Homo-oligomer: A and B are copies of this chain.
Amino acid sequence: MLLVTSGAVAFGKLTLSQALRLSMSMRETLIMKSGPPLETAKSSVGTSAAVGQSGLMALYDAMFNQFGVKIAQVLVTKPDFYNPESRSWLRQTLLELISLNILPIINTNDAVSSPTSQFEACVDGSQIQLISDNDALAAHLAAEAGADLMIMMSNVDGVYTLPPGQDGSSLLHTFSPSTRDRIVIGEKSNVGLGGMDSKIGAATWAVDRGVSAVICNGFKDGAITRIVKGEKVGTFFTQHETSSTSLENLSISAKNGSRALESLSGSERGAILRKLADLLLEKSDMLLEANAKDLQAAEACGLEESLLSRLSLDRTKLASLGDGIRSIAEKCEGDDILGKVNIRTLIADGIELQQITVPIGVLLVIFESRPDCLPQVASLAIATGNGLLLKGGKEAFHSNRALFYLVREALGQYNVQQAISLISTREDVDEILNVGKHIDLIIPRGSADLVRTIQQKSKGIPVLGHSEGVCHVYVDKDADFESAYDIVRDAKCDYPAACNAMETLLLHQDLIESDFFSTMCSILRKEGVTVNAGPRLSQRLTFGPPATQSLRTEYSRLECAIEVVDDVKQAITHINTYGSGHTDVIVTENVAAAEDFLRSVDSACVFHNASTRFADGYRFGLGAEVGISTGRIHARGPVGLEGLLTTKWQIRGSGDTVADFSKGKRKYKHEALPVSPDSDEFRRASAISADDS
């Protein structure tokens, strides 16, 4: 490690001002107190540096000494770099210090050489480069010593696209040659603080010579350790081009693409979807080939069997994917998705108000290994006229790329390819969210962990989804036992990893000592379900199942908790306390109890005498499923296409002002008008009539 430091001049000025004060007479001191603050500007930089250098080194010495690190002071001047002999001597000294585990602390010798006069250094035997400040000095020393990494510490967090704090400014995590071109040419005067320009220059200079560089905030805790660990701190300079700089462009394209899609008719969007469905079959060889590559890589990595089966595509899966997409196309061609009139009001004669459906804008969908998610999500976006950024798992890299190729081909029919982009798997979610101002909704499709991470990081962009599914089945004392057995078995065992699988079975207290309880337990045992007892059940049983750790556990496998409750009221309270608001079920023949449960359980889905597993867009008959949301606004429970739509208010008037109404010249009518089914024709017609009036 080499340390290049500033600060000697500043420290020296402080000492000088004290010395100056001590050398003043009492009278001078008194005058000064009421006069202007003591200035040492007249002291030369050289004097200040000479005075400050010793203090600075004493401070470093005392600090490093506490950690047993020995330091050495190295003051350099211009000739040290000019003269090949002294250059080599300096190099030898530094390398030797490093080999002795002594930390060289390097500063320019401002006492003997002006720091403001730029000096030239000869590096690589041929190139002449001006060394104007410590940033450039550090870059030269790093190159000279063959350093792996140069860390430049500033008081800002790194390089920003615009001055930090300004609206729209965002921190660049990586800085590649193209970034430099973009910033320098486009917005040179806007680049961060004054000193940032020279830091960027020094960093790119070092990168060109094989030294990696990071510009970070030196005031941030543990910056060096975190950078060395590979965490994303500050701005990392690299010669590799990343797409991070273009992420913002992709989202702008998606926005424009959304507008282009919206301007197509429903049957045109339907045609894109039908084309995509056809391509999935026509190009199935290509798809399966790409998928085979992913499967091979996954097997080599030792991916679990269940994950492998999610990753794999086959002709049956492709055919059913195509069928699903054709059914979305059908909905599209009904022309009932976009521009549908929800509300139509005659505000007053000649002023007609309409609320119509429009796309939300740009969706970011993040999905894990399952590649079949890609064409499904793309179809939903196309049907609803939304722009889409897709980020798939890296396990499905080849499959996703092949599928995306087909999506683009289908979009090409109407030249709206820009609406959908596949984001490189290398980009992490943080980076995407940093350019998130053009993203209107995030839909994470995958594990609870993925969703939770996205929800926490979303930075105010709405997230549609559910992180947990702690679903309950409550069996009432008035339950039909056969129904209860069937429903509990189905809810837990049909697909234990699903979010709508049962995690906790609540039993009415009267059932505990009945045959029902032992039969229920033996059914679960036969299915291989591990049972955990809730605290109250544990108390009731002398030799019961082991006690559960928490009543909020989502087991997601053949395991569940059983707890006992006094009655339906306590079951409701239990679910509202420990549940995740996903899906909860009562099994009873008592209609009053059932209605109480249906009304009072505060979950997205509440069922009477039916399995939790019915909570699903397809089973609900919503056609395409966007996902299941446990959020309380916009959409809740299984979400169909309407979850990807918002509304817009339109008024068609005839030169109207509100002043006429507030002054009493005109009166509001607020007459609800019938909503015509054929919205497009209808809008045009009504526009013309409004116009004529």
Which residues of chain A have a CB within 8 Å of any CB of chain B? 11, 14-15, 18, 55-56, 58-59, 61-63, 65-68, 219-221, 259, 262-263, 345, 347, 351, 353, 355, 358, 360-361, 440-441, 455-456, 458, 460, 462, 464, 480, 482-483, 486-487, 489-490, 494, 587, 589, 591, 594-595, 598-600, 602-611, 613-616, 619-621, 631-634, 636-638, 646-659, 661-662, 668, 670, 683-684, 687-688, 690-691
Residues of B within 8 A of A18 (CB): 68
Given the complex of chains A and B, what is the CA–CA distance between A146 and B440 in angstroms?
56
A480 and B655 contact, Cβ closer than 8 Å, known pairs A66-B55, A614-B351, A649-B605: yes
- Give A22 Cβ to nearest chain B Cβ, in Å: 11
Closest 9 CB pairs of A and B: A610-B653, A483-B655, A621-B670, A490-B657, A62-B62, A607-B651, A634-B634, A613-B658, A633-B634
Q: A14-B68, A609-B655 are in contact. List 4 more A-B contacts (CB 8 A).
A: A58-B62, A351-B614, A494-B662, A589-B691
A620 to B655, CA, bound (A): 17
Chain B residues positioned under 8 Å from A221 (CB to CB)? 219-220
- Which of A14, A351, A632, A637 is most buried by chain B, counting CB atoms within 10 A of its CB? A632
Give which listed residue, B355, B464, B609, B683, contacts A654 with CB less than 8 A: B609
Nearest B residue to A550 by beta-carbon distance? B167
Contact of A63 among B59, B464, B486 (CB under 8 A): B59
Residues of B within 8 A of A646 (CB): 632-633, 636
B611 and A658: CB pair below 8 A? yes
Q: Please give the distance in Å from A334's CB to the nearest CB on chain B.
A: 14
B63, B259, B456, B638: which contacts A602 (Cβ < 8 A)? B259
Give chain B residues whose Cβ lies under 8 Å from the Cβ of A683: 595
| Closest Cβ neighbor of A15 among chain B residues | B68
Copies in the complex: 2
Say yes or no: B456 contacts A632, CB within 8 Å. no
Residue of B whose beta carbon sits closest to that of A11: B66
Q: Which residues of the other chain, B, contact A615 by a CB distance below 8 angstroms?
A: 649
The reply to whether B687 and A595 form a contact with Cβ atoms under 8 Å apart is: yes
Distance to closest chain B CB from A634 (angstroms): 4
Residues in chain B near residue A55, CB distance under 8 A: 62, 65-66
Query: Which B residues are CB-close (under 8 A) to A594?
Result: 652, 687, 691
Whole-angstrom CA separation of A637 from B647 in the bound complex: 9
Q: How far is the CA of A455 from the CA of B661 in the complex (A)?
A: 34
Complex contact B591–A688 (CB within 8 A): yes
Contact A360 B606 (CB under 8 A): no
CA distance A56 to B68 in the complex (A): 13
**Complex Cα distance A690/B588, Å?**
13
A444, chain B: closest CB distance, angstroms? 14
- Residues B609 and A656 in contact, CB atoms below 8 Å apart: yes
Q: How long is the Cα–Cα vector from A646 to B602 in the complex, in angstroms?
A: 11
**Residue of chain B at shortest CB distance from A360:** B632
Cα A345 to Cα B637 with chains together (Å): 15
Min Cβ gap A63→B in Å is: 6
Task: Write the nearest CB–CB distance from A562 to chain B, whole angstroms.
Answer: 19
**Minimum distance in angstroms from A662 CB to a CB of chain B:** 8
> Which one of B220, B610, B650 lies within 8 Å of A607 (CB-CB)?
B650
* A–B Cβ pairs within 8 angstroms, 6 of them: A58-B65, A347-B619, A494-B658, A591-B688, A611-B658, A634-B634
